[in-house]
């Protein structure tokens, strides 16, 4: 008899939910923390990202653009030209937001380069992205790239055309909130005017080659864990058409697990000590990278070393996790995006300027920091995160609706407030919210999924009663 899902399954689902919330909340926190805009339109920007991807994935269903289609998910030469132009314009437009024509000539690079060389590099990148979108269409990857570069250029227009005008007039925060609500309605109903109100879907090839066979990234996989007196056994299986297919069984003794745990701790500690004792910039990063490679290599060796085991007849404890490669991929993608943002904030001159502007904008201006470029960077990053979050939401839920991002807005704000209205706090708060939503439903018998958001807000209120500044507020 297969084990039932339990707390571990709820935690895993909560991490997936938290990753989706974090993709939206990160951009929301950046804009609120640095640009001082409580952007209630951010949820609708996720929706815009999801719908934008349809121009590549299902161009024949997009009004006006469908006249350039030559068949289901196909466009002719004119349609390919439009996609190429929009993609290239997205790249160049994003760079232009960093300082106009001088930015296209490399002013934001931080080093002196000939104008022609910088223009050539930017044009080359734009052409490569445009070619990648056209040649990759109508694949999900090309659609994601298209939405990514297009929102990176579109979202900053909200700052330059709307919010900056009000900020220059020193309006109150409450008025800025009303302005963001107005922008939210304009974006939402603008999308509905163009695309209509019906539910839409991506058409995605979900089967990929894997270990000599095929793997459906959306099909649920069941990870069964058996804790016995002699060790741990992990069984991976899937159910297709009512038939259970055993994919892999891995068994590990307690001695093997103890040796692996000690080895991982030793490698991590050694890398940490090397990083602390190495001068310069390259040394610490090299130490951290080598430590990570060693840990991954060790984990991979152990993973495959346990393959070929058998499911035990009896166990002390057994539980099941129900997930899919798609859900695991969302976690990995979110971590990669947040790692990239961490690098931007901590290891680049632009990131230091962003942190200085967040602390004190007036003082940053006195010190010669280009706060306008910082503001535009914030909105660019917000747009990039919104694009990824919106497209992944549409893919995960298998449907795209006009309220797709708005339905997540409360959870995103909860994550931002819970974290203390800072970028790192928003990331932590988002995972706390995600876990509260899923674990709360599991822990309270008879509570339906309808109450996921209220449970998250109960946790939010409880935390703020104890720590009003949020989890990392004031740190």
Q: What is the pLDDT of residues 240-253, one digit of tens each?
A: 766 777 777 888 88
Q: Are 226 and 233 within 8 A, CB to CB?
A: yes
Phi first, then psi, for residue 314 (nearest 5°) are -130, 155
405: left (phi over 0), alpha (psi -120 to 50) or beta: alpha
Task: Return the sign of the alpha-carbon dihedral for residues 107, 110, 113, 119.
Answer: negative
| Per-position pLDDT tens, the chain of length 475 | 567 777 888 898 899 999 999 998 998 988 888 888 888 999 999 999 999 999 999 998 888 888 888 888 888 899 999 999 999 999 999 999 988 899 999 888 877 888 899 999 999 999 999 999 999 988 889 999 999 999 999 999 998 899 888 888 888 888 888 999 999 999 999 999 988 888 898 988 777 766 566 777 777 888 888 888 888 888 888 777 667 777 778 888 888 888 878 877 787 777 667 666 655 444 555 555 555 566 566 566 665 665 666 777 778 888 888 888 888 888 999 999 998 888 888 888 888 888 888 877 778 787 888 888 888 999 999 999 999 999 998 888 888 999 988 888 888 888 888 888 788 888 988 999 899 888 888 888 777 777 788 888 888 888 888 877 777 765 5
Residue 77 and residue 89 in contact, taking contact as beta carbons nearer than 8 Å: no
pLDDT at site 254: 84
Chain segment 66-83, per-residue pLDDT in tens:
888 888 888 889 999 999
Element housing 236 (H / E): strand 231-240
Backbone angles phi, psi at 37, to 5 degrees: -125, 115
What are the extents of the domains in the chain?
Answer: 7-58+138-205+325-466, 220-323
- In the numeric block, the tokens 């509570």 are attached to 447
The CATH-assigned architecture of domain 7-58+138-205+325-466 is: Orthogonal Bundle (1.10)
**Mean of the per-residue pLDDT values of the chain:** 83
């Amino acid at each position: 008899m297969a084990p039932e899902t339990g707390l571990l399954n709820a935690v895993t689902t909560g991490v997936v939910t938290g990753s989706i919330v974090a993709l939206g909340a990160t951009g929301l926190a950046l804009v609120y923390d640095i640009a001082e805009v409580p952007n209630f339109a951010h949820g609708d920007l996720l929706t815009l990202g999801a719908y934008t991807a349809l121009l590549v994935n299902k161009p024949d269903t997009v009004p006006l653009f469908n006249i350039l289609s030559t068949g289901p998910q196909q466009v002719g030469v004119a349609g390919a030209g439009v996609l190429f132009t929009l993609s290239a314009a997205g790249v160049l437009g994003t760079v232009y937001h960093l300082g106009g024509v001088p930015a296209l000539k490399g002013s934001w690079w931080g080093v002196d380069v000939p104008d022609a060389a910088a223009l050539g590099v930017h044009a080359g990148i734009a052409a490569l992205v445009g070619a990648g979108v056209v040649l990759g269409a109508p694949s999900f990857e090309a659609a994601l790239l298209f939405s990514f570069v297009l929102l990176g250029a579109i979202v900053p227009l909200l700052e330059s055309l709307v919010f900056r005008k009000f900020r220059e007039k020193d309006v109150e925060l409450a008025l800025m909130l009303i302005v963001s609500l107005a922008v939210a309605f304009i974006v939402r109903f603008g999308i509905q005017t163009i695309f209509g109100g019906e539910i839409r879907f991506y058409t995605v090839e979900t089967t990929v080659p894997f270990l000599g066979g095929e793997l459906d990234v959306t099909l649920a996989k069941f990870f069964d864990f058996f804790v016995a007196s002699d060790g741990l056994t992990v069984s991976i299986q899937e159910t297709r058409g009512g038939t259970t297919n055993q994919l892999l069984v891995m068994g590990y003794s307690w001695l093997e697990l103890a040796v692996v745990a000690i080895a991982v701790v030793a490698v991590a500690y050694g890398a940490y000590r090397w990083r602390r004792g190495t001068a310069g910039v390259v040394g610490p990063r090299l130490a951290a990278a080598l430590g990570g490679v060693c840990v991954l290599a060790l984990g991979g060796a152990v993973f495959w070393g346990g393959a070929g085991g058998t499911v035990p007849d009896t166990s002390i404890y057994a539980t099941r996790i129900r997930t899919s490669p798609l859900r695991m991929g969302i976690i990995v993608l979110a971590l990669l995006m947040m790692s990239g943002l961490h690098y931007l904030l901590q290891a680049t001159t632009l990131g230091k300027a962003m942190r200085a502007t967040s602390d004190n904008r007036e003082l940053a201006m006195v010190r010669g920091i280009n706060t306008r470029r910082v503001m535009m960077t914030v909105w660019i990053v917000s747009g990039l995160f919104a694009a990824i979050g919106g497209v992944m939401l549409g893919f995960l839920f298998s449907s795209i609706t006009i309220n797709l991002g708005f339905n997540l807005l409360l959870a995103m704000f909860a994550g931002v407030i819970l974290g203390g209205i800072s970028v790192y706090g928003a990331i932590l708060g988002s995972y706390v919210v995600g876990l509260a939503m899923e674990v709360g439903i599991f822990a309270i018998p008879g509570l339906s999924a309808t109450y996921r958001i209220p449970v998250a807000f109960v946790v939010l209120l409880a935390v703020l009663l104890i720590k009003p500044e949020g989890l990392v507020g004031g740190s």
